[in-house]
Every structure is written in structure tokens, then in C-alpha cells.
Structure 1
Amino acid sequence: MTGSGSPAAVRRWAVLLAVLVLVVDQLTKLWAESALEDRAPIPVLGELLQFRLLYNSGAAFSIGRGSTWIFTIFAAAAVLWVGWLVVRVRSRGWAVALGLLLGGAATHLGDRLFRAPGFANGHVVDFIDYNGWFVGNIADIALTAGAVLVVVLTLRGISLDGRGSTEQPEESAPPQ
């Protein structure tokens, strides 16, 4: 998964994964709003995992409620920055990580821009309750998985172009 491939194909995978995350996240939020509105939590794995509808104006763990517009700016910056990285990626592992991050950030940006209570102040729909510790959504899962993969790739010394930290660039590699 960490090897490099055709730059266009690798970028295409990152973008397709981002679109998949965005679509699945938004569809599950539509489901949550229609199925969970005005309902008690629905146990999935007892109290360990439940479906419960919440609207989050803050960040993770509802931090920063009342500062939604700031999170809109951060989400927009994240989408632009990760998009910029996707244009440069050649590693399949990094393409997966960036696709997950781009999809999660883009869908949160969409929520902030277009959901109630208004433009750039929208609340994120959360519905997966993890034993009362926090309530999240599919985008949060994608963002977390993408961040973990970034850490793993970084610790393994794999760069955006798929080379390890000890590998020489192809053009300067000694003949074999």
C-alpha cells in the first residue's frame, strides 16, 4: 500500500476515496436525521455503541461551541491544504490517507457552509455515540483513520512520492 504508482492513477484514487467518504457521510447523516429525530438512543452494542442524533456547533467533543465560523475557516483551509497535497502525491498509502482526510474535511466544510442555522455557521450532524465519551459520524471515522495512517507513514519514513527516507531518488540511484 505504500508503493508508488502512476501519479495520475494515485491522485485519482485519493479523489475517489474523498468523494466516497463525502457521499457515505452525507447519506448516513440524512438517514440519521430521518430515523433518529425525537427518538431515544438506539443501542447497537448495548450502551457501548448507540445511534443518537446531535447537532454539533463545535469541534471534536463539542469544543468551541459558539465559534462555528472559526471551524468553517479551519475546514476550508484543511480542504485547500490537503487538496494541494493530493496534487503532489505518488504514494498509494499517502493517497489513501489524504483521500480520507480530504473527504472528512470536505464533508464537515459542507455541513458548516450549508446546514442550519445558516451559511458558515452550520452544525455538523453527529449520530454515532461511543459509550457517552463522544458522538461522531462517518467523516470523523475517516479523519481519524487518515490521521493514524499519516502517523504510520511518517514513522515508517515514507514520503508523498512513495520513497522511504533512506531511498535515493530514481535519477541518482547507482546502476545495478
Structure 2
Amino acid sequence: MSVTPHSFFPLASPRNHAFATPFAVVLVLDVVTKRWAEATLALHTPVEVVGAALRWTLTYNTGAAMSLSVGESSRAFFSIVAIGMVAYLLMLLRQAPAQARAVPAALGMLAAGAIGNLIDRLRHDRGVVDFIDVGTASWRFWTFNVADIGVSCGAILLALLLWREDRVAHKLQMSQSPESPDR
């Protein structure tokens, strides 16, 4: 039985490193910026960063994305959903080839975002800390945080990768199928 460096240090595989790096960056940035926002900003008081286009506005979201709510059970419900989602993402990570990089990076961003918002739900009942406020003088997007950026970017990257993988598989299937008798 041979002993490899992977036996002692599981992050040594490209797959695990590709997951761990964006995971750590997103999670640390999320926690640090949320604590900064809570310590620095007054609740619901916008601070212009780039005019009306980008403002810091501290809010607490007891629901999920875009203030989606399931009533008084929102905190418990979305906490359970986040835990289940992280477990599923880790299962997908284990199924990825050891040399994979892009899919694990997307999974890392998704998992970090889910955990970042879960931390807020578990630490107090006010809800998830949101503070990034973008829009115009007359229209505002939902206020969000770094975890939400991680989830959005990870989901977009994963969707693009799966779409590309599906197209490659379809082209391969078409090139290997026998020609029709009409030709």
C-alpha cells in the first residue's frame, strides 16, 4: 500500500483546492463586511458610496432572497434549507473528478454564500445582514450582501458549465450516431 500526499492532506487535489479557495474568500469577506456594516451603519440609513448607484444601507432580512418569506417559520425553514443545500453541494463536490477546477469553484462560492447567511440566521433572530444597496434615485434593487454575491456568481458559473457540458455531450453523441438512410 503506497501513501500519497493526498492521504495526509486532502486539499492537495486540484478539485478540493478549487473549492476551498473561493469558499474561504467568500465566507471571510461575507462575515467581515457584515460585522463592519453592523458596527458602522445606522439601520435603514443610506450612505452614498457612488452617488445613488451604490449605497451602504443596513437592513435585516428575516426571509430569503428578495425578502421571500414563509412567515414566522422563515428562520427555521431557511436554516434547514441551507444545511440541506450545503450537504448536497458537498456531495456534488465528492462526485467531481479529482482534477476538476471550475465546477468545484462554483460549488465553493455557493456553499460559502449559504453558510454565510446561515451564520446570521443562527446568531440572532433579526435576520440576515444585508447592506449593499444598488439602483438609481427612483429605483432600488433588493439590498444584498457578499454571501448573496457568492451564491449568484456560483449559480451562474455552475449553470454555464453544465450548459457547456451538455452541448459537448450532445455534439459527441451526434458525431457517434450512425448517419440516417436519407443521406
- Fold conserved (TM > 0.5)? yes
Contact 2:44 2:59 in 1 (8 A): no
Contact 1:21 1:100 in 2 (8 A): yes
The structure that has the greater radius of gyration is 2
| Counterpart mapping for 1:1-176 below 5 A | 8-38=13-43, 40-64=45-69, 66=72, 67-90=74-97, 91-114=100-123, 116-117=124-125, 123-131=127-135, 132-157=140-165, 164-165=168-169
Gaps of 5+ in 2: 1-10, 174-183
Letter of the 2:78 partner, please give it. F
Letter of the 1:123 partner, please give it. G
Report the alpha carbon displacement of residue 54 of structure 1 after superposing the two structures with TM: 0.3
Residues of 2 paired with 1:61 and 1:95: CA distance? 26
Contact 1:82 1:102 in 2 (8 A): yes
70-79 vs 6-15, greater mean Cα deviation: 6-15
103-112 vs 71-80, greater mean Cα deviation: 103-112
Q: For 1:50, what is the secondary structure of its paired residue?
A: strand
Report the alpha carbon displacement of residue 40 of structure 1 after superposing the two structures with TM: 2.4
Identity among equivalent pairs (%): 35
Contact 1:100 1:143 in 2 (8 A): yes
What are the superposed Cα offsets for residues 119-160 of structure 1, whole Å, 9 maximum, x if unpaired? xxx6110000122220000010010001111111111116xx
Residues of 2 paired with 1:20 and 1:167: CA distance? 36
66-75 vs 23-32, greater mean Cα deviation: 66-75
Residues of 2 paired with 1:38 and 1:73: CA distance? 27
The TM-score, its normalising length taken from structure 2, stands at 0.76
Gaps of 5+ in 1: 1-5, 159-163, 169-176
Q: For 2:132, what is the secondary structure of its paired residue?
A: strand
Letter of the 1:58 partner, please give it. G
7-16 vs 88-97, greater mean Cα deviation: 7-16
Letter of the 1:130 partner, please give it. V
Higher helix proportion: 2
The TM-score, its normalising length taken from structure 1, stands at 0.79
* Structure 1 runs of 4+ with >3 Å offset: none
> 1:171 matched to which residue of 2?
none
Report the alpha carbon displacement of residue 110 of structure 1 after superposing the two structures with TM: 1.5
